């Protein structure tokens, strides 16, 4: 299993803060592709979001980052500030 976390506005947009997903994905990108099949909100938040922030096991990650069973994958909306 992979523990997936959704932070900030993604919690409201996707209707959950976290979930356990079977570890059938080799990369973060493959996980995103699978999650985006859940509907338009998922596509907008994860698949189409070019500024998506990703962490795997608390380290900054990219869509091509390899994931394995037991990993934690976190998705954050783009950070803005002033």
Q: Which domains are assigned to the chain?
A: 2-76 (3.10.20.30)
DSSP-derived letter for residue 4 is: E
Average pLDDT score, the chain:
94
- pLDDT-derived band at 31 (thresholds 50, 70, 90) equals very high
Phi and psi dihedrals of 47, rounded to 5? -75, -50
The mean pLDDT of 25-38, rounded to a whole number, is: 96
What are the tokens at 2? 């992979």
The mean pLDDT of 36-60, rounded to a whole number, is: 96
- pLDDT-derived band at 53 (thresholds 50, 70, 90) equals very high
pLDDT at 81 over 60: no
Residue-level length of the chain: 82
pLDDT at 71 over 80: yes
At 76 the three-state DSSP class reads strand
């Amino acid at each position: 299993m992979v523990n997936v976390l959704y932070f900030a506005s993604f919690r409201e947009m996707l209707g959950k803060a976290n979930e356990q997903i079977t570890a059938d994905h080799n990369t973060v990108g493959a996980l995103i592709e699978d999650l985006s099949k859940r509907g338009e909100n998922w596509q907008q938040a994860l698949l189409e979001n070019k500024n998506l922030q990703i962490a795997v096991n608390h380290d900054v990650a990219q869509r091509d980052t390899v994931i394995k069973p037991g990993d934690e994958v976190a998705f954050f909306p783009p950070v803005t500030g002033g």
